[in-house]
Structure 1
């Protein structure tokens, strides 16, 4: 499923695999709440931006953006989960852009729960276990983009400490909680951010900084200062149990009433959002069972090799660029063409193309129909290749 609109315009999927390196898409704040649905342009919660001092041809060493955070909360609760966490570091696309997030260890042999957006677009994933300090290569077992859940498998891992899991059904408004994670992507001892549960069953419209949006529902809302790099990390109750997976954050509008005092002494309104752990584990169990569905993808992601945008008229996905040597290039697709069908199923948008390719795997043969710039319809059968994750 690696087809996405140009730079960030296709939801939380990766930037185009062949795009010039620069900061990975960051999730940032938006100053607005719309009725019952919070419009949240998410903080870079899981994709920590690196400096972009490099060109498309020469990749210089990345320098992480260091985040500071008000350290607070129940030290015992945070300490109870830290050995069961991992730092997730990824290389995005084929040009060396980098990103970072957090994961929760589910099994001693290295199964890890994280957000889909933490690994979306990754061509390489390395995971450092907090409990033993070792770094492992990781593969993606599967993911559900619509619920922002992914499961990783660490290669060669044994004897890992697992995170203590709680019951998110017991969470109530007013409960004290602590968000724990790899804030800033700096690694080392996880940082913490304390707060309380302010609402349950929250729906949000979540966007990256390009404005691409997706809907998430049923979230736990907190006033903890969730930050870049925390995505995939645990929301912990006072008993030291994981009750949620940190996923999104926002600085709400002037209507917000809760505030957090930062390390600099400035008061800022904050809201964090976490997927209830029961919901995340339900998706993880489906992935573990190998049961693909309309939303759950199992195994490696397939690639056609194009960046696409919406046509604006519901008439296909317009090709922006074509990766040299890719299946699309070999079929004769060029920039400016509009892909209108895959395997006979209509494509009316870039998101529709992504959804259709989510159901495929590397090695699959698919028929592709596109309209060229002379308005002639073209058809070809191509064999998909392995592409970046999610």
Structure 2
């Protein structure tokens, strides 16, 4: 079968031409929602209707070979070429009318017809197609998107972003409001933090600074000191009150952190311990708290306060580097003047810090700054991270004695020390009769290797440990005699010279 061919030209002289007898075709394509029109057929006798095979009455063609309007086997194609226009389903209760062939009617549908294009394989059928009048295609409905619930992760992410935006917006509004309250019209920076924790370094310094003073010496120099009682007692170093001379001054000027200056009386001083006591008038002075220096440990944070190089109210911070460090100090004549078991620190200490407090991180005094180690030439000494302070327990004992009696006692063992090899111990070259050493059973030639739990290897170390303690203190000593190790209990006493 050939589809889409044009029908042959009509022949009026041919009575069998389809156009001669065929009914005129419909001009419009049927709508999808309408049944196809059925041409009227002449009524047939009842007998003919009952005996004839069921056929649909369509316009017939006289000559199958020349037919221009042969109908296809698929009735759906007769409804046009638009894809959306399909024929309606046949009505099962519809019965088409059948009629016997009339005089001018083709009998191709008759089973006895001589020429039947649907039964003769040799016949040539032609399908006539007509263009469907243009009709706009119905607008398709928009596809429905199935509603799905958002994933939990998406909900959390959206919530987090919303909270972040809200937080930023709130902070911005708060900053804007704060700046607006300032009234200075500035949009740069934020309001400064002026409140500090009392436990911070700044908070501690703020509390203790009114108790620290700068001591002005007679030679134009200065040292430092600190108030230890509300009635005006001040602790400082012996070498501060002496200044550039050999005798302590009677009065000195002291400068407070607020700039006020007053006169202080020198109550007394002790060159062996390098401790001195001053007193200023008044009975409502801010006194510093004195800690227990025996509880100090290496690594504890510390503050050094004073007037280094004349710079009043200076604070440096560091740690405890060592304890019971044996230190010798000299007077202005170059002679050994004091021996101490000092607290070593890396807090910066410089000339002018002498006599000032070394405090723990809470602002409690653990020592009096008194000396520094230096490799520089005389007069050029400065901080190299090794400073020394007199333990406050020893300084307080000396100060109490000075206040009470004007002088201080010195603790002794009661033996002369000889030469010892480094690392061997301290040799007791001569034990004095009636001394604490003699009462404990020590003899000449004994070598002390431990004193009060501390290993000793040189004379200065032993002297410093003895002077640190108060008279009447009982200590345990370990010594060697004739290659054998022994121990003894010694009760220390004050010197009687």
TM-score (norm 2): 0.38
TM-score (norm 1): 0.48
Which structure dedicates a bigger proportion of its chain to helix? 2
- Structure showing greater relative contact order (alpha-carbon pairs closer than 8 Å, 6 or more residues apart): 1
Which structure dedicates a bigger proportion of its chain to strand? 1
Structure number with greater Rg is 2
